[in-house]
Amino acid sequence: MEKFSDNIKKVILAGIGAVAVTAEKSKDLLDEMVEKGELTVEQGKVLNEELKHNIKQKVQEATAKKEEDKSVSDSDISDLLSRMTPEQIAALKEQLADKETAEEDKDE
């Protein structure tokens, strides 16, 4: 009978030991997961800042390109005029005259 109670005592102590080991391992695992989560959050913040910077840079580049595209050279104008019909040139002259008149009226 004494041997039986010793075995029961060993089983109970083994169970308590298993619970203690499980608790320790769980705590270690939880700490590790929290640490990795914090690292992931920090990496996310850094990536977010990089994306903001890249977007600003792309917008500035696009704006600069748009401004470049707006400028018209003398050769572009000459090319355009050489392809226009006499009627189109007359209409353009009329629009320019109207614009000049509107500018003069605005200045007065």
Two structure tokens written together for 22:
């499980």
Q: With contact defined as beta carbons under 8 Å apart, do 96 and 88 qualify?
A: no
Instruction: Spell out the per-residue pLDDT of the chain, length 108, in tens.
Output: 677 788 888 888 888 888 888 888 888 888 888 888 887 888 888 888 998 888 889 888 888 877 776 676 778 788 888 888 989 989 989 998 998 888 887 776
For residue 23, the surrounding DSSP H or E stretch is: helix 2-70
pLDDT confidence of residue 29: 85
Residue 2: CB partners within 8 Å, gap ≥ 6?
Answer: none
